[in-house]
Structure 1
Amino acid sequence: MKKNIAILMGGYSSEFEISIQSGNVVYKYLDRDLYIPFRVHITKDGWYYVDDHDQKYSIDKNDFSLTLEGSKITFDAAFNTVHGTPGEDGLLQAYFELIEIPQTACDFYPAALTFNKRDCISTLKPYGIPTATNYFLNKGDTIDSKAIIDTVGLPCFVKANKAGSSYGVSKVKTIEDLLPAIEVAYKEDDEIIIESFLSGTEVSVGVIQHNGKDTVLPITEIVSENEFFDYEAKYMGKSEEITPARLSDEDTQKVKDLALKVYQILKMKGFSRSEYIFHHGEPYFVEMNTNPGLSEASILPQQAEKAGISLKELFSNAIESCIRLQK
């Protein structure tokens, strides 16, 4: 019997449209021999099933059910492609755990932890995971530009603590650029992380659960035309993504081992994509994405293809894994 699968997309953040793209790719490639897919838009105004004619039907949040033509439809699993809040910060994960519907992303606490860049780095440091030097600010704090620069140096990066797709991120080259960059970051979040500049090759590493095993996918090297891997570089063709990365065998193994260690320290499940920069020859952890982009051009699908995993297999495996773990 085919399983009803709700494909969650949208969300409440600036990444809404990117999430819609990811969700539509899952909808396109989901195996119709095994599953009946339902596109579910998560919006601030409500949660809706959207059919192929763009007709919207409300989801009952009490039990995450849908009524069509007088018949109640329930779901065997939810495929979570919501980037940002509430799909990547633990809120949806906690909701589905409470109502006992399997969902494809990690559990609520690892999601909340990794979505908070400052807490994630603070958790990893005692395990010896190398990261940039950082400085934390909350909205309303006194800003001592000299103390910040004395701590992290120049150039540095100012980032919104809880945001994705490089929203609220600026590269700061002079002390005069610091305050404007902080204001940009505060537009996305009331918490900020300021980090020292790491110079070196940037790579993105996908780690997934595949056939019951934590699996590191082929590594992608990021070569941005811009100052860093910003929104334009990620989504508007202003970067080159080379898979597999042009690394030595030794460096490839180093970053694979580190990415797997981070995945397991953070008790990840499902898909993840983490970023690393080889600084002075060693990979430094930058951040973790627990709901990475899933369009055909996104990094994780590229990596899966290089590993011989089709999108149909990738998505089916994610669904069956989360259902198996729920039992």
Structure 2
Amino acid sequence: MKVGVLMGGVSSEREVSLLSGEEIMKYMDKEKYEVFPIVIDSKDEVLEKVRGLDFVFLALHGAFGEDGSIQALLESISTTYSGCGVLTSALCMSKKQSKRILKAESIITPPGFIVNENKELSIELIETLGYPMVVKPNNGGSSVGTFIVSNRKALMESIEKAFKYDEQLLIEKYLEGEEYTISVLNGEVLPILQIKAKGEFFDYSSKYLDGGAEEVAAKLPKVLEEEMNKIAIACWEIFDCRAYVRIDIIVHEGVPYVLELNTLPGMTKNSLFPRSASFAGMEYSVLLDNIIKASQRDIYKDREHFC
């Protein structure tokens, strides 16, 4: 089978994408797959570069990676790819839309406001959340352009900085608590990881630099663990996830709050999904193989159902 690993891209997370792609290339089983690196610098070159491949493993992150755009492009030429479909990717990429859906399904998320670049900003209304707050792009990941603020001056400065990454921002109440991430592979929950960031929060450096954070298998009370597993499966089903997804949660005063869903989780050596799989006794190459198999199976199932 000819597998192309699509990496690079046009988003602010290009560097992370390249790291993920290199790691996937390194560990994919060469006895099963003929693997080709596909580094893209623009949207226009994708179709030409993927022609003739049997499968595309998406190592893209951010815009034109996780937002459904590349998924739609690949579906337009009937090319099978890894991960979630067009609609799921688009909904989960938008924190605004995913929070709306989660709330409608009675899944708790931190309170917050959406701020648009071209609309009048009511600082007084935002401040009803109470400090500290988190400022982040509505469409983005890897904590790029994310800030924790504790006063009005810092809030205004962070809003200005974050608008460089997106024209729409999410400003949430910062909830102090333990951070966890739940990896779901083909509808099955892998071991929950607790994240102990060395910095102020689990930022870009914590996620991708050696020693930036400690991720350990979570030791949770049985009731809380069962509740978090239940939440993860509910998220998987609500958004019609496919192959794999990672759900980030913070437990504040004993209550799990869903922060976001990652439809193309990072796959570097320091990334959370491979680490969670390793705690389940799954080697990296086996994880990649399982993702490919699950993606193929689900895509063919969807096409048969549509027909």
- TM-score tier by shorter-chain length is over 0.9
Tell me the secondary structure at the aligned position of residue 217 of structure 2: coil
* 8 Å CA contact retained: 1:158, 1:172: yes
Aligned to 2:162: 185
1:15-34 equivalent positions in 2, closer than 5 A: 15-34=13-32
Q: Does 1:126 align with 2:86?
A: no
Residue 110 (structure 1) aligns with: 88
Which residue of 103, 117, 139 maps to 2:117? 139
Question: Which residue is 2:304 aligned to?
Answer: none
User: CA separation of 1:319/1:246 partners in 2, compared to 1, >3 Å: closer, same or farther?
Assistant: same
Q: How does 1:265-284 map to 2 (within 5 A)?
A: 265-284=238-257
The letter for the 1-side match of 2:216 is T
Q: Which runs of 5+ in 2 are unaligned?
A: 301-307
| Structure 1 CA distance for aligned equivalents of residues 8 and 166 of structure 2 | 19
Aligned match of 2:218: 245
Percentage of matched positions with identical amino acids: 33
Preserved contact between residue 41 and residue 47 of structure 1 (Cα < 8 Å) = no
Q: CA deviation at 1:175?
A: 1.6
Match of residue 55 from structure 1? none
One-letter code of the match for 2:294?
S
1:165 and 2:138 correspond: no
Q: 1 CA distance for matches of 2:274 and 2:239?
A: 22
Paired amino acid for 1:16: R
Post-superposition Cα deviations, 1:117-154, rounded to whole Å, max 9, x if no partner, equal 1111001111100011111111121122111101x111
C-alpha separation in 1, matches of 2:62 and 2:43: 17
1:224 touches 1:238 (CA, 8 Å); kept in 2?
no
Structure 2 Cα separation of the partners of residues 242 and 326 of structure 1: 32
Contact 1:226 1:238 in 2 (8 A): no
Q: Which residue of structure 2 aligns with residue 81 of structure 1?
A: 59
Give the superposition deviation at 1:236: 2.4
Residues 210, 270 of structure 2: 8 Å contact kept: no
The residue aligned with 1:288 is: 261
Q: Which has the higher helix share?
A: 2
Measured on the aligned residues, the alpha-carbon RMSD in Å equals: 1.5
Tell me what 1:10 maps to: 8
| Structure 1 residue 193 displacement after superposition | 0.7
Aligned counterpart for 2:78 among listed residues 85, 90, 100 = 100
Take 1:204 and 1:225, find their aligned partners in 2: how far apart are those partners?
Answer: 16
Q: CA deviation at 1:250?
A: 2.1
The Cα offsets for residues 238-292 of structure 1, whole Å up to 9 and x where unpaired, read as 6433321132222222111111111111111122111101112011000111111
- Describe the SS at the equivalent of 1:292: coil
The match for 1:255 is: 228
Deviation sequence 1:204-224 (CA, Å, 0-9, x none):
111111xxxx11111111111
TM-score between the two structures when normalised by the length of structure 1: 0.88
Partner deviation per Cα, 1:300-323 (whole Å, 9 max, x = no partner):
101101111111111112112222
Q: Is the 8 A contact 1:4 1:75 kept in 2?
A: yes
Q: Which residue of 1 aligns with 2:303?
A: none
2:270 is paired with a residue of what secondary structure?
coil
The structure with the larger Rg is: 1
CA distance 1:241–1:270, change in 2 (3 Å): farther
Change (3 A) 1:294 1:189: same
Aligned partner of 1:314 in structure 2 is 287
Q: TM-score, normalised by structure 2?
A: 0.94
Distance of 1:195 and 1:117 partners within structure 2: 11
- Is the contact made by 1:40 and 1:47 (CA closer than 8 Å) also made in structure 2? no
Structure 1 position 296, deviation (Å) = 2.1
Q: Which amino acid aligns with 2:93?
A: F
CA shift, 1:44, in A, is 2.0
Gaps of 5+ in 1: 49-58, 66-73
Structure 2: how far apart are the matches of 1:225 and 1:322? 35
Rounded to whole Å, the distance in 2 between the matches of 1:84 and 1:102 is: 20
Give 1:101 deviation, angstroms.
1.0
Q: Secondary structure at the match of 1:96?
A: helix
